[in-house]
């Protein structure tokens, strides 16, 4: 079942659902709008093979930074994060959707599920459309649809991305030496 605005507000009020910061326009009819954070990582166009079993050095594949604005170029892949820290209870999961205004600009995000029990800022992949689009932190960018599980998860999310802040790169990368 998709949660309504009234149910979302109740969960936030009870402390079972965390959305921090929460603004007046965050809770919507059937989900929450989340804003862009200030950090992004641009995937570099390189021919160096990244072996998922061997890992690699993040700087070989990503260029990351904090910015007042940035441009998503045509067909480019960017990792962004939400300004909000989200904490889901063990009986609620989230489905991430791009707000329609940005989809109408040709931007795209792959299907993303936020597992029951997850806590942290969301890292989202964005793919550019046919022309460059400038984005700004604090812009309402994604819509998180919250769905209730038929019962609480027996093993809520406690994975490697729990508690993440900013853009979190895939955990297959080695630390810089």
Looking at residue 174, what is its pLDDT?
Answer: 60
Size of the chain, expressed as the number of residues it contains: 177
Looking at residue 98, what is its pLDDT?
Answer: 97
Dist CA 27 CA 5 (whole Å): 6
Q: Return the percentage of the chain with pLDDT > 70, whole number.
A: 98
The third-level CATH classification (topology) of the domain covering 5-47+55-148 is: Deoxyuridine 5'-Triphosphate Nucleotidohydrolase; Chain A (2.70.40)
Q: Is 14 helix (H, G, I), strand (E, B) or coil?
A: helix
- Delimit the domains of the chain by residue range: 5-47+55-148
Active site residue 125: yes
pTM for the model = 0.91
Q: Is 163 helix (H, G, I), strand (E, B) or coil?
A: coil
Instruction: Return the closest-CA partner of residue 139 out of 97, 92, 101, 169.
Output: 101
pLDDT tens string 66-115: 999 999 999 999 999 999 999 999 999 999 999 999 999 999 999 999 99
Retrieve residue 59's tokens.
């700087």
pLDDT band at 172 (very low <50, low <70, confident <90, very high): confident
154 Cβ contact list (under 8 Å, min separation 6):
none
pLDDT value at 176 more than 70 = no
Q: Is 116 helix (H, G, I), strand (E, B) or coil?
A: coil
pLDDT tens string 9-26: 999 999 999 999 999 999
pLDDT tens string 30-76: 999 999 999 999 999 999 988 888 888 888 999 999 999 999 999 99
Letter string b/e over residues 118-137, b meaning 16 or more CB atoms within 10 A of that residue's CB = bbbbbbbebbbbeeebebeb
Which residue in 121, 125, 139, 154 is the catalytic one? 125
Rg (CA), the chain: 17
Retrieve residue 77's tokens.
């892949």
Looking at residue 9, what is its pLDDT?
Answer: 97
Q: How many other CB atoms are there within 10 angstroms of residue 170's CB atom? A: 16
Q: Are strands 92-98 and 27-28 parallel, antiparallel or unpaired?
A: unpaired
């Amino acid at each position: 079942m998709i949660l309504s605005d009234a149910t979302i507000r109740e969960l936030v009020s009870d402390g079972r659902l965390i959305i921090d910061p929460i603004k007046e326009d965050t809770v919507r009819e059937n989900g929450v709008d989340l804003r862009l954070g200030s950090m992004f990582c641009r995937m570099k166009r390189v021919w160096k093979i990244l072996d998922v079993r061997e890992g690699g050095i993040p700087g070989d594949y990503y260029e990351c930074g904090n910015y007042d604005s940035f441009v998503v170029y045509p067909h480019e892949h960017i990792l962004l994060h939400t300004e909000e820290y989200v904490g889901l209870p063990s009986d609620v999961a989230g489905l991430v959707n791009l707000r329609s205004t940005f989809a109408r600009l040709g931007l795209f995000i792959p299907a993303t599920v936020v597992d029951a029990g997850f806590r942290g800022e969301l890292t989202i992949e964005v793919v550019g459309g046919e022309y460059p689009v400038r984005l700004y932190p604090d812009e309402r960018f994604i819509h998180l649809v919250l769905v209730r599980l038929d019962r609480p998860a027996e093993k809520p999310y406690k994975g490697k991305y729990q508690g993440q802040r900013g853009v979190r790169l895939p955990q297959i990368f080695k630390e810089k030496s």
